[in-house]
């Protein structure tokens, strides 16, 4: 496909939607019309720069021709001692002169005179005429009126010893200049039109029509950006237009994919909200039944019931958060000072890690480490990472494999580093690029990648960072949570009170 013949699947070939003609510039006021006008103007300007020196050159050649004709007449008259008056007048008429004089060897000789010459208006010394002077004199001749008399003088031989002086009326020169200017103007106009048409057609084929095609594709695509049939097909040109077409097609494809994904996420969010609405009611009922368990005197029930109630409370809170923040945006963290080791124990108990038959769990967090964070949100972060690790190691059936999940932490100044490490198969290379993106960073078949995406969002809300680090076998995630910054000036003002 070339830039002038779009394929049927191209955006330019699709039927225009309603209102598609709005905003389309008129042909004369568009880029094509402006290009045509500018081309004609610039070619005419170029012709003007050619016309100015050419008319000065035409005037100089015309005057030199008159000197040469006068020299021939002077030679003819000097070679004849007795010449009739009529013959002399004919020679002067041929030269267009009133008088002819010859200056040679320091002597001046009047060769012929038709009549007593009138007052000389201007003396033209051809050897002394410079280019600017010649241009100015040419326009002066065009603009001056009739009746001016010129005295022209200049050498006619190579040695410059024979100088001819001719007195003649300027009217003939002025008439010749007008004819020459008219011819130049007509020729320039013809050249300008031909050049303008050729340049216009070339630029329209090379630039304007491809740009119009891009504009049309933009207009149609903006009306329905989710329609893949409206994505422009690059023409394959290897210049800037071709590069722009390729980049625009890539942008359209990426935007269409992104909009399709967002539509999918919106539909999914609506479905999740409906499910959560009903799930919240079920969890509320389960919470009521669980509260009755606290009345059972059994020691095991008394130990597990509070944890079960706390888990149900968290589940109810998550369901409410999904309904309240359906725009996939988490609530700001409510930060408090937390004993991190106890929070890790809660995560382990929820996943039944202390009693897991195949996975060894190690809580290596010192009880002295305290972290400034939202308890529920940090619990969700650790829960997602730990659950992913358990699911990765549960998928291995070999009894000889080491299955171990460990969580440890270290405070370094105002930042707490948390490492969640397992001895599972690790994270595949294809999943690392989009590891923390929803629906793209799943490390196992059937996974959605939401757990890591939620964990990353919650950590960033704390001003922290989460990343995958290579520390040997398995997968190790590092979480960095900084303490809240202290407003030093506010603290000083409070101390003064």
Give the pair of three-digit tokens for residue 391.
């699911």
What average pLDDT score do residues 337-361 get? 90
Write down the mean pLDDT value for the chain: 78
User: Which residue shows structure tokens 């699911």?
Assistant: 391
Give yes or no for residue 257 having a pLDDT over 90.
Answer: no
234-329 has which CATH code? 1.10.287
- pLDDT higher than 50, residue 128: yes
* CATH for 333-492, options being 3.30.565.10, 3.40.190.150, 3.40.50.720, 2.40.50.100: 3.30.565.10
Greater model confidence, 480 or 351: 480
The pLDDT value given to residue 277: 53
What is the C-alpha separation between 497 and 291, in angstroms, rounded? 48
Q: What is the pLDDT of residue 308?
A: 73
Give the model's confidence band at 477: pLDDT under 50 very low, under 70 low, under 90 confident, else very high: very high
DSSP notation for 118-151 = ----EEEEGGG--HHHHHHHHHHHHHS-S--EEE
**417 or 309, which is more confident?**
417
Residue scoring higher pLDDT (54 or 211): 54
Tens-place pLDDT, residues 72-96: 888 887 777 666 777 777 778 877 8
| Higher-confidence position of 185 and 345 | 345
Residue 447, pLDDT > 60, answer no
Top pLDDT among 98 and 477 is at: 477
Q: How confident is the model at residue 341 (pLDDT cuts 50, 70, 90)?
A: very high
Domain ranges in the chain are 31-191, 234-329, 333-492
Containing 249, the helix (H) or strand (E) segment is helix 240-293
User: Is residue 34 predicted with pLDDT exceeding 80?
Assistant: no
Q: Do domains 234-329 and 333-492 have the same CATH topology?
A: no
Mean pLDDT across 399-426: 91
Structure tokens at 177: 């200049």
Tokens read off for 346: 């809660």
- Is 90 exceeded by the pLDDT of residue 482? yes
CA distances from 114 to 78, 93, 107, 325 (A): 16, 9, 21, 111
Closest CA to 453 of 464, 469, 443, 439: 439
> Percent of the chain, pLDDT > 70?
79
Instruction: Please state the pTM of the whole predicted model.
Output: 0.44
Tell the residue number behind the tokens 């994904």, with chain if given: 261
Band the pLDDT of 283: cuts 50, 70, 90.
low
């Amino acid at each position: 496909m070339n830039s002038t013949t779009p394929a049927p699947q191209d955006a330019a070939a699709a039927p225009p939607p309603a209102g598609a003609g709005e905003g389309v510039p008129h042909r004369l006021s568009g880029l094509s019309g402006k290009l045509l006008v500018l081309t004609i103007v610039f070619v005419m300007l170029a012709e003007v720069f050619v016309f100015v020196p050419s008319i000065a050159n035409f005037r100089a050649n015309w005057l030199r021709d008159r000197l040469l004709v006068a020299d021939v007449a002077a030679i003819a008259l000097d070679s004849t001692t007795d010449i009739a008056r009529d013959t002399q007048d004919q020679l002067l008429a041929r030269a267009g002169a009133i008088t002819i004089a010859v200056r040679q060897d320091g002597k001046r000789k009047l060769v012929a005179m038709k009549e007593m010459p009138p007052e000389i208006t201007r003396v033209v010394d051809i050897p002394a005429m410079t280019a600017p002077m010649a241009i100015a004199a040419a326009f002066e001749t065009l603009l001056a009126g009739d009746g001016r008399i010129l005295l022209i003088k200049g050498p006619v031989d190579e040695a410059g010893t024979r100088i001819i002086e001719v007195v003649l009326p300027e009217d003939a020169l002025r008439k010749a200049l007008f004819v020459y200017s008219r011819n130049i103007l007509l020729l320039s106009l013809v050249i300008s039109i031909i050049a303008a048409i050729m340049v216009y057609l070339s630029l329209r084929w090379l630039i304007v029509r491809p740009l119009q095609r891009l504009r049309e594709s933009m207009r149609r695509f903006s009306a329905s950006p989710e329609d893949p049939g409206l994505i422009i097909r690059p023409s394959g040109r290897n210049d800037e237009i071709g590069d722009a077409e390729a980049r625009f097609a890539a942008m359209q494809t990426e935007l269409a994919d992104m909009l399709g994904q967002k539509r999918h996420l919106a539909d999914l969010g609506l479905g999740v909200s409906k499910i959560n609405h009903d799930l919240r009611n079920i969890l509320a009922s389960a919470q009521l039944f669980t509260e009755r368990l606290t009345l059972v005197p059994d020691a095991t029930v008394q130990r597990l019931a509070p944890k079960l109630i706390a888990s149900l409370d968290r589940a109810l809170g998550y369901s409410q958060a999904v309904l309240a923040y359906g725009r996939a945006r988490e609530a700001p963290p409510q930060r408090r000072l937390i004993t991190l080791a106890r929070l890790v124990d809660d995560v382990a108990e929820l996943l039944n890690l202390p009693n897991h038959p195949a996975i060894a769990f190690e809580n290596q967090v010192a009880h002295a480490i305290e972290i400034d964070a939202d308890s529920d949100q940090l619990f969700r972060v650790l829960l997602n990472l730990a659950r992913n690790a358990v699911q990765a190691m549960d998928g291995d059936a070999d009894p000889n494999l080491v299955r171990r999940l460990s969580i440890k932490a270290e405070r370094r100044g105002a930042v707490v580093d948390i490492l969640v490490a397992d001895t599972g198969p690790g994270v595949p290379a294809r999943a690392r690029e989009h590891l923390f993106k929803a629906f793209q960073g799943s490390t196992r078949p059937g996974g959605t990648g939401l757990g890591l995406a939620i964990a990353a969002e919650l950590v960033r809300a704390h001003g922290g960072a989460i990343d995958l680090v290579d520390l040997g076998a398995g997968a190790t995630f590092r979480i960095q949570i900084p303490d809240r910054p202290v407003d030093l000036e506010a603290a000083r003002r409070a101390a003064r009170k």
